[in-house]
């Protein structure tokens, strides 16, 4: 099989095969074959991307690559892998099966129930033994196995059964969440285009996407999604690239300029020479970068698990000490069950779930405890511009009439012409006229439209032009006075400008902007007050507009005209100086969201951004970032307070038990009461009842 090494980490290889190398069923066969190789722990073959993700243990890299090279489609293609393609049970079915099993076992006679519990314990005990043997250290898996094992030895089958049920429930929810996230990511990236028009032998024909070839001339018209990466060969159009590059307005594309899959032609028609399609497009590369970042994130342990793992050896040490001093096996077993990590593992998830629930009530959806921790540790917040700091909807900010014309006349005439065209700037002009109740009944003759330039028509016998400076001044020869040029220069510092000319004279200009969100300025200020030392902005828009937004919001660090990969690299550089929170909303922001320590997306943003993000602001309030930060700081303080309380209380109880001051039964009772107390404290709200309270800052 032909392949290349795309990326690798210790114990992990990602290989890339040519697109279409294998089907879904064949991919399942390839994965199963590779998993039979010595040292390979898992192998996943994706037919969509042509990638092989292989995890392994030991010094077997060379043998794995050799095995992949020997794979032949004549071999794996003859094996029926359809039976290996399984969707898996739904979450509801899995939960029904889990709790149905609990109810079924409760109806069994005690002897059979004990036998079933013993059989259920074997995988858990095996996992603990493997962890102890391979890792040569005591961790939570070993403690779980020990707690179940001790309960079984003491014939306390009920306790053993409850422990196993809760552990199974946790594994089930974690697995389901990961599966749904990956499925949603795949669906949100799919363009769902099966056929397209291409120019071949001087005529247009419609072909299936699978028949497309590099170098073909794809024909794409108004309203269509561009399904390929390529270079414009012929034609001219306004292309909405906001989802890919972050530019707030449609951009003109003409021969020689590049276009990207996933962008939309708002007006015009293009013939594009195909340079990449399917798995080679920039859109698909975004998915690969996200996948890489997600894999790296998955290797980071949750803080609570680290705490629990660190304490496990002391639990065993204390149990051994009690047995050494008292020679009482029952007392030693009680000490093993009455341990530090039990309370930590219970109170920490409760604190996190409580914070997540509190955030959800305020429109801040946090996808996991590790992101609350990262929010607390962050010292840098990075914003995208379009759709994040701004509302991503062009609007008329100002109308400047020149001598002989009124503001109302300029707007009315502009709306009269622009209402015939569907692009976003035209809609902004028409909306402004409607907002001001200005009627703009048609008084013009036939409209002549130059794609990506402007509009020309006759109104009451005079030629009227509206469009870009290039169209009005260079193409049509309209002149302006030095005083008018001074006004134009001043306004173009902050806005895009439409020019209106009547009868060969400049009648006025319409300043178009992408307005800031109402709370943007306050949010940036409050982030600084909250201890964020660095606030930056990354955008695909031009530097002039970016600087204008930065000045208005108080952001002092700006990088403009960035592609998605550039944003990702910028985030990686910023992470060298501390924790980074990235806030964005578009497809182009997704790799940066995944690369940051915490990615934050707006609910109104692209589906892929919401799937990749670690925090979603469901009410589209930029101020939700402040709530997320406060929740993170507050929950980490709560976890550390619980940690100190649990260690102190249980150390005292074990010391009292070891000295014989209290009996094991009293020790166990007080331990359970302390665990309940820590859990109750974990459920207390962090932000309080007032939305303006700044808990944790």
Decide if 585 is catalytic. Answer: no
| DSSP three-state, residue 73 | helix
For 314, 325, 456, 646, the CA distances from 650, given in Å and listed in that order, are: 12, 19, 83, 6
How deeply is 94 buried, as exposed, middle or buried, from its count of CB atoms within 10 A (0-12, 13-18, 19+)?
middle
Which residue is catalytic, options 144, 309, 339, 384? Answer: 384
Which residues face 390 on adjacent strands? 516
Return d(Cα 202, Cα 45) in angstroms, integer.
40
In this structure, the chain runs to a length of: 697
Return d(Cα 51, Cα 15) in angstroms, integer.
6
Return d(Cα 243, Cα 387) in angstroms, integer.
10
First to last CA, the chain: 56
For 360-363, which contacts have Cβ atoms below 8 Å and span 24 or more sequence positions? Answer: 360/618, 362/619, 362/624, 362/627, 362/687, 362/691, 363/617, 363/618, 363/619, 363/621, 363/624
Element (H, E) at 28: helix 24-34
Give the pair of three-digit tokens for residue 164: 């196993």
Return d(Cα 230, Cα 273) in angstroms, integer.
5
Q: How many helices (H) and strands (E) does the chain have?
A: 24, 24
The answer to whether the Cα torsion of 622, 627, 631, 634 is positive or negative is positive
Sheet holding 378-384, edge to edge: 364-366, 615-617, 598-602, 579-584, 378-384, 534-538, 557-559
- Rg of the chain in Å (alpha carbons): 32
| DSSP three-state, residue 69 | helix
For 157, 271, 687, the CA distances from 609, given in Å and listed in that order, are: 47, 30, 27
Q: Which residues are catalytic?
A: 384
């Amino acid at each position: 099989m032909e392949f290349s090494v795309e990326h690798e980490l210790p114990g992990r290889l990602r290989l890339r095969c040519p697109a279409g190398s294998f089907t879904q069923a064949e991919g399942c066969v390839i994965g199963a074959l590779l998993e039979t190789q010595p040292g390979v722990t898992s192998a996943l073959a994706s037919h969509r991307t042509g990638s092989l993700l292989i995890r392994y243990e030991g010094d077997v890299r060379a043998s794995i690559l050799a095995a992949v090279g020997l794979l032949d489609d004549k071999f794996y293609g003859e094996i029926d892998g359809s039976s290996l393609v399984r969707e898996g049970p739904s979450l509801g079915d899995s939960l029904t099966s889990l709790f149905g099993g609990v109810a079924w076992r409760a109806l069994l006679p005690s002897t059979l129930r004990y036998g079933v519990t013993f059989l259920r314990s074997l995988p858990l005990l095996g996992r603990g033994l493997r962890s102890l043997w391979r890792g040569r250290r005591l961790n939570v898996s070993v403690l779980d196995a020990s707690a179940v094992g001790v309960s079984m030895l003491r014939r306390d089958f009920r306790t053993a059964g409850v422990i196993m049920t809760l552990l199974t429930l946790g594994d089930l929810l974690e697995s389901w969440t990961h599966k749904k996230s990956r499925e949603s990511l795949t669906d949100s990236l799919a363009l769902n285009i099966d056929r397209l028009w291409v120019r071949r032998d001087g005529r247009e024909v419609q072909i299936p996407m699978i028949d497309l070839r590099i170098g073909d001339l794809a024909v794409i018209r108004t309203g269509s999604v561009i399904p390929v990466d390529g270079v414009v060969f012929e034609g001219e159009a306004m292309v909405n690239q906001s989802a890919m590059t972050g530019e707030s307005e449609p951009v003109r594309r003409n021969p020689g300029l590049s276009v990207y899959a996933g962008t939309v032609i708002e007006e015009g028609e293009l013939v594009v020479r195909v340079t990449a399609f399917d798995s080679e497009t920039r859109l698909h590369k975004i998915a690969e970068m996200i996948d890489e970042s997600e894999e790296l994130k998955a290797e980071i342990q949750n803080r609570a698990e680290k705490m629990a793992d660190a304490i496990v050896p002391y639990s065993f040490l204390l149990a051994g000490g009690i047995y050494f001093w008292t020679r009482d096996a029952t007392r030693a077993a009680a000490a093993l069950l009455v341990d530090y990590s039990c309370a930590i593992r219970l109170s920490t998830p409760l604190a996190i779930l409580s914070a997540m629930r509190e955030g959800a009530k305020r429109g801040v959806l946090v996808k996991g405890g590790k992101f609350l921790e990262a929010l607390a540790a962050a010292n840098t917040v990075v914003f995208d511009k379009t759709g994040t700091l701004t509302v991503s909807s062009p609007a008329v900010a100002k109308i400047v009439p020149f001598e002989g014309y009124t503001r109302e006349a300029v707007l009315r005439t502009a709306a009269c012409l622009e209402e015939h065209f569907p692009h976003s700037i035209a809609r902004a002009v028409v909306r402004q006229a409607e907002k001001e109740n200005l009627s703009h009944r048609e008084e013009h003759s036939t409209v002549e439209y130059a794609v990506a330039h402007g509009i020309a028509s006759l109104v009451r016998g005079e030629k009227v032009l509206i469009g870009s400076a290039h169209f009005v001044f260079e193409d049509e020869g309209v002149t302006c006075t030095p005083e008018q040029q001074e006004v134009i220069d001043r306004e173009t510092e902050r806005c895009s400008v439409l020019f209106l000319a009547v009868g060969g004279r400049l009648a006025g200009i319409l300043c178009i902007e992408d307005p800031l969100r109402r709370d943007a300025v306050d949010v940036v200020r409050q982030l600084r007050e909250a201890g964020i030392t660095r606030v930056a902005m990354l955008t695909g828009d031009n530097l002039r507009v970016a600087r204008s937004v930065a000045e208005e919001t108080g952001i002092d660090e700006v990088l403009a005209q960035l592609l998605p990969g550039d944003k990702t690299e910028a985030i990686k550089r910023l992470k060298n100086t501390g924790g980074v929170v990235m806030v964005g909303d578009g497809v182009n922001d997704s790799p940066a969201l995944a690369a940051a320590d915490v990615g934050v997306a707006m609910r109104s943003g692209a589906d892929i951004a919401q799937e990749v993000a670690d925090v979603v602001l469901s009410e589209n309030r930029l101020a939700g970032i402040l709530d997320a930060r406060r929740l993170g700081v507050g929950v980490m303080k709560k976890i550390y307070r619980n940690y100190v309380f649990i260690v102190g209380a249980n150390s005292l109880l074990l010391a009292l038990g070891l000295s014989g001051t209290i009996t094991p039964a009293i020790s166990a009772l007080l331990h359970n009461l302390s665990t309940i107390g820590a859990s109750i404290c974990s459920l207390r709200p962090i932000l309080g009842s007032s939305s303006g309270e700044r808990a944790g800052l």
